[in-house]
Amino acid sequence: MNKEILEKIKNDPDYIKLVTTRKKFAWGLTFVLLLIYYSFILTIAFDPKLLGTPISKDSIITIGIPIGVLIIIAAFILTGIYVNKANKVFDELTRKIKLKYEKGV
């Protein structure tokens, strides 16, 4: 691709929409996961007894273990949400832009 076509693509409304939508969505999901993770870390820092409490009277498993597992599961779920949107929305916008410039617009 030459520089002229690249400049046209950079200024294309569909390309701008793709870049801004993808960036906002990715940062939103990142914020959610960081909020979950740092809430866990701050709980460890300021109330470690809470996460060290056994699940039941006879259990050796503390509340912190399943919460930690849930954080890992949340990361997988958020990744799945991103991949789903990428496959449906972002790939469609990319295809639309690609077709437009393959035809020589």
pLDDT, residue 104, reads 67
- Give the model confidence (pLDDT) of 36-87 as tens digits: 999 999 999 999 999 999 999 999 999 999 999 999 999 999 999 999 999 9
Query: Residues near 15 by Cβ (< 8 Å), separated by ≥ 6?
Result: 9, 97
Three-class secondary structure of residue 54 per DSSP: strand
pTM for the predicted model, two decimal places: 0.82
